[in-house]
Structure 1
Amino acid sequence: MTKVIASGKTVEDAVKQGLAELGVSRDKVEIQVLEQPSKGFLGLIGVKAAKVELKLLPVPEAVPQRVEPAAHVPQVEVKLEGVAAKNPYEEAAAFLKEVAAGMGLDVEVDIKKQRDGHIFNIAGEDLGMIIGRRGQTLDALQYLTNIVANRYSESFVRIVLDAENFRQRRRKTLEDLAERLAGQAIRSGKEVVLEPMPPLERKVIHAKLQNHPQIKTYSKGEEPNRRVVIMTK
């Protein structure tokens, strides 16, 4: 490997990551900054990491080739130990706390393991800022948290964020909505088209009505404007 593209919170972090991957010191590479980091809106939405390209400099012919392995092997070993020491869930929780601090919030993150992933329960005051309108900010944070966790994991990990039991309360709201609109469709004999919803919320509507004797559902449109349609059989 003669070059690598690395990313990090800052340009310096990205450079260090690239050096670790190549197993060399800074004087052995040519560094080009591809993207500067940005915090995005409110330090949350649109967060962009710094990105750099590191290219190995040519090795002078006068340097004996046998010297290279001795110079490189210790650094490769350090790199492997460093990666092994990173816990994806701890890194993800630290990211969440950092984002919350940027919003002026002091939160704690309780991590619970489930069969199909991990749930991060966020506790603290004024969590409405983290939840957002209909959970939109919470969903955005969940997306970013999964990116962070998978950056430090060799296998895919799945994290669901929750705050003040929002997920369960939102599910109950959607199920009640599904029943109410199913009744409306039966009374009117017309299709009822819901507002655009993310995939997980559409799934709740479909699941609630899948065994209804008089109603069927389907989704139409393209993301992010895909909607559930409720109609009589």
Structure 2
Amino acid sequence: MREITASGQTVEEAVQSALEQLDTIRDHVDVDVIDEGKKGLLGVFGSKRAIVKVTVKQNPIEEAENFLRDITEKMNVQAEVTPTVSGDHVTFDLSGDKVAILIGKRGQTLNAIQYLVHLVLNKDADTFYSVTVDAEGYRDRRKEALEALAHKMADKAKRLNKAVTLEPMPAFERKIIHNALQVNDQVSTYSDGAEPHRRIMIKPAVGN
């Protein structure tokens, strides 16, 4: 965290001095007025300089990135972290020799890391961000596998003429299933149960 204490004839002058030394702008800092100072007689005698402490605000994306690096290091994985911002969505791509450790079985470890990064990113941010943490293209591969599973289970529901239940999965993965079958008018999908055990049900459409 970068901060500096500065003084000036007025509070605004002290703040401006701090901004110049920190090479930043007013919107990117927090200002704590330590002493408002006073002008004194004729603006000279008995005057007292204003003193402020100016702290550069932590960039929430940088904070989340640092948090992610810390997690990977604690897991003994040397991973490169590359953030990409698109509007209010942030994707953190992980790459390295041992990133499979960060993925875990069916992405469970990666999903847990993504949840923690989401909390860190949004705890003090002025903007609410959605987050994806990916590792060596795992999310695309998982999306393809879920779409294939959706169609396979839809065919099973139609063949057996009864509802079939998928394994529990996080909301963003359930959404992939729902979207994959949205145009299939022979089945309908809905989620059932409470988190973290909420799962998708696929059932034949009425009249099929």
Question: TM-score, normalised to structure 1's length?
Answer: 0.65
Contact 2:88/2:128 (8 A) holds in 1: no
What is the deviation of 1:218? 1.0
* Structure 1 vs Structure 2 CA RMSD: 2.4
SS for the counterpart of 1:74 is strand
- Equivalent position of 1:141 in the other structure: 113
Question: TM-score, normalised to structure 2's length?
Answer: 0.72
SS for the counterpart of 1:98 is helix
- Equivalent position of 1:196 in the other structure: 168
- Equivalent position of 1:221 in the other structure: 193
Query: Which runs of structure 2 are paired with 1:20-31 in the superposition (5 Å)?
Result: 23=32
Computing the radius of gyration from Cα coordinates, the structure with the larger value is 2
- Equivalent position of 2:101 in the other structure: 129
Quote the Cα distance in structure 2 between the aligned partners of 1:184 and 1:99. Answer: 41
Quote the Cα distance in structure 2 between the aligned partners of 1:147 and 1:165. Answer: 23
Contact 1:87/1:152 (8 A) holds in 2: no
- 4+ residue segments displaced more than 6 Å: none
Give 1:168's aligned amino acid. D
Quote the Cα distance in structure 2 between the aligned partners of 1:74 and 1:122. Answer: 44
Quote the Cα distance in structure 2 between the aligned partners of 1:109 and 1:161. Answer: 10
Does structure 1 residue 209 correspond to structure 2 residue 195?
Answer: no
SS for the counterpart of 1:100 is helix
Give 2:54's aligned amino acid. V
Contact 2:95/2:136 (8 A) holds in 1: yes
Unpaired stretches in structure 1, ≥5 consecutive residues: 1-20, 26-67
Does structure 1 residue 78 correspond to structure 2 residue 50?
Answer: no
- Percent identical residues: 40
Q: How many residues align?
A: 166
What is the deviation of 1:90? 1.7
Correspondence for 2:158 among 170, 186, 203: 186
What is the deviation of 1:189? 0.6
What is the deviation of 1:153? 2.6
Bigger helix fraction: 1
Give 1:74's aligned amino acid. I
